[in-house]
Amino acid sequence: MKIGIFDSGVGALSVYREVRKAFPKVDIDYFGDTLRMPYGSKTPEEIQKFTLEIGTYLVKEGAEALIIACNTATAYGLKALEEAFPEIPVYGMIEPGARLAVKRTKNKKIGLLATKGTVNSGAYDKALQKQNFDGKLCKVGAGLLAPIVEEGFGDHPGTKKFLETYLKPFTKEDTLILGCTHFPVLEEFIKEIMPEVVLINPAFGVVEEIKNKMENKGKGQTQFKISGDIQNFSAVASKILGEKISVEFVEKVIL
């Protein structure tokens, strides 16, 4: 069994980590589109194009299932990818994240911290409505956070100051959706700023969704493929995963 997981960069590593824990034997092709990140500032048409390009590449490489480990790409590209490959299961971040948030909130006030692209898409609003959520959603587009994580500054003290500014509007919410796969890297800082708030990592919702739909079979191999700088990806990925990701195991692919 081979799964294709992709994102605009290192964000999908937060998803990869949870999928790998749940499926230690499956083979995984990881694609980080670091050359064209961040996706949050791109047009819907560009994002859909990128999503189809990467999905097509991963299917050609043998992926039997696809995980769009990017909320913005899920918002604008999931439907197109499903239509392009009706025979292959395609999973996104948004519905699993919304499902978890509705389960966890007690006061029916949910916060969403995401890219501007995801916020503007209204995809989380629709996903929450699908869960019959009748509370309030407070949304904040945090355009600077994904590039900060991408450059390896997710644990820098200065990053906490950016977070404090972005998190100010969340005053009554008891649950916060980390609506960008780069943001779980910032989880410790967010907990320090908002210790009483339940943080929702959609990756856990994705694993919950696929655990009874996929077989844990394969060689347990991972191939990392990126479109940008290998050295930077290797360094940041090693920091996020807590294990050395040698440049020899990262392949550069231009689509």
Ramachandran quadrant class, 211 (left: phi over 0; alpha: psi -120 to 50; beta: rest): alpha
Question: Which one of 147-156, 195-204, 239-248 scores highest in mean pLDDT?
Answer: 195-204
Q: How confident is the model at residue 106 (pLDDT cuts 50, 70, 90)?
A: very high
Task: Answer yes or no: are the C-beta atoms of 112 and 119 closer than 8 Å.
Answer: yes
Query: Distance between CA 148 and CA 142 in Å, rounded?
Result: 11
121 token code pair:
């898409």
Q: What is the pLDDT of residues 153-210, one digit of tens each?
A: 999 999 999 999 999 999 999 999 999 999 999 999 999 999 999 999 999 999 999 9
- What domains, with CATH codes, occur in the chain? 2-92+205-252 (3.40.50.1860), 94-202 (3.40.50.1860)
Q: How confident is the model at residue 94 (pLDDT cuts 50, 70, 90)?
A: very high
DSSP state of 106: S
Mean pLDDT for the stretch of residues 243-253: 85
Alpha helical stretches, state H, the chain: 13-22, 44-60, 71-84, 94-104, 116-121, 123-130, 145-150, 157-167, 187-193, 202-210, 230-241
Helix, strand and coil in the chain, % to nearest 5: 45, 20, 35
User: Is the pLDDT confidence value at 122 over 90?
Assistant: yes
Task: Answer yes or no: are the C-beta atoms of 28 and 223 closer than 8 Å.
Answer: yes
| Mean pLDDT value across the chain | 95
User: Is the pLDDT confidence value at 246 over 90?
Assistant: no
Query: Distance between CA 51 and CA 85 in Å, rounded?
Result: 12
φ and ψ at 134, to 5 degrees? -115, 25
Task: Supply the residues annotated as catalytic.
Answer: 70, 180
Q: What is the pLDDT of residues 4-37, one digit of tens each?
A: 999 999 999 999 999 999 999 999 999 999 999 9
Between 183 and 212, where is the model more confident?
183
- What pLDDT is recorded for position 147? 93
